[in-house]
Structure 1
Amino acid sequence: EVVKAGGLGNDIQDLPAAGSAPEWMSEKAISIGHYFVSSGVYTVFGYHLPTTGAPVFQNYLFEELEKLYGGMWDLEADPIKHARKMIAHIDKKRKALGIDKARERVLMDMADRQKLEA
């Protein structure tokens, strides 16, 4: 409901946002990241997930979850590439919402703001 009220889509998956866990701190990083993913947030992990021996499960995490919940895992150890993946995702979501174009910004004083509320 908060997303709808804010006018940025209908669900969390529509937001121009991404999650990031650049370092392995503990198993909590995976559980918190998975909460993000299952909530609809694209999440980049900076370390390998312990799923490399299970290709079907790995496919589920990196492709199928996006079809189900709108969020998915991605992996990138290099911090620059990690950030670029997140920025590319955010740009894609901004474009889908039509908020990717620059527009003139107007600095308003209190009187101008009060006129908007009236």
Structure 2
Amino acid sequence: MTNDQSAEQLLELAAASGAEAAEVFQSQSLSKPIFFEANRLKQLESSQSEGTTLRLWRDGRPGLAVAYGPVEPEKLVERAISLSTLNQPETVELTASTTLSHYPDIGESVPVEQLVSWGK
């Protein structure tokens, strides 16, 4: 399932669960730290993460749930709704954009061979 599909599914599940408003935020990151010691490659790592946040209002009460890694949409909606029961009613304040926003990647990919060369 793509991020767009999971976001749409979360919004549909939130609405079906009685939320009068909801929004989804998702982020992904990939990093490849490389470590040198005495001008030699010591360690090369790769780290990838994905986060999903669901914010909703049910009966005017806000609820927020955050998950990292694979997400079971039903559980995320259930958590956000459970938390909403603990909050006082407040005005719904969604982000100004109602469309999907995609931000450009930051940084550039550099082949390991180039990193090793620079390390020397």
TM-score by length of 1: 0.25
Higher relative contact order (CA 8 A, sep 6+): 1
Structure 1 or 2: more helix by fraction: 1
Considering only CA atoms, is the larger Rg found in Structure 1 or Structure 2? 2
Which structure is higher in strand share? Answer: 2
> TM-score if structure 2 supplies the norm length?
0.24
